[in-house]
Amino acid sequence: MTIASRSNIPLNRPGRRRDAAHRRDLSWLASLVHRLSGLALAIFLPMHFMVLALALNGPQALDGFLQWTHQPVVKLAEAGLVALLVVHLLGGLRLLAIEFLPWRGSQKAATIASLALSVLAGVWFLVQAL
């Protein structure tokens, strides 16, 4: 016996989606990317603070770490980080626009534009770093 059948709540009530069609919507994907980018940035932040703490241990420790950051893999990760920052920033601005501005039919175009801008920012940073 399932929980739904015990609670007398019909599974076919109005508003209940039985499929995952809403997950193919671009706005839902934009929301997911915004949440995942925020999670990735939250994971990165303690590592950033640990690197900043190296400066307190003396210039040799920080210089050693900065030498390590010249590797191509680290440069690629930095470009990814910049892209994550831009994705999260633009996703937050998109949410603010949804909350405080009148609804427009151009939400899909704004979502695609913010994704394209994020990718361009990451690529630009990578080109500058190399």
Mean pLDDT of the chain: 78
Tens of pLDDT, residue by residue over 21-62, are 666 777 788 888 889 989 999 998 998 898 888 888 888 888
| Predicted confidence band of residue 111 (pLDDT cuts 50, 70, 90) | confident
**Segment 56-82 mean pLDDT:** 86
Rounded-to-integer distance, Cα 114 and Cα 111, Å: 5
Whether 2 shows a pLDDT value over 70: the answer reads no
Phi-psi region of 30 (alpha: psi -120 to 50; beta: other; left: phi over 0): alpha
Better-scored residue on pLDDT, 30 or 72: 72
Rounded-to-integer distance, Cα 61 and Cα 5, Å: 62
The DSSP element (H or E) to which 60 belongs, if any, is helix 59-68
Amino acid at site 116: A
**Segment 2-25 mean pLDDT:** 58
Better-scored residue on pLDDT, 92 or 6: 92
Query: Was domain 25-129 assigned CATH 1.10.1060.10?
Result: no
The domains of the chain are located at 25-129
pLDDT of residue 39: 92
Rounded-to-integer distance, Cα 55 and Cα 62, Å: 5
Burial profile 53-68: b = 16 or more Cβ within 10 angstroms, e = fewer: ebeeeeeeebeeeeee
pLDDT of residue 19: 62
Rounded-to-integer distance, Cα 108 and Cα 98, Å: 12
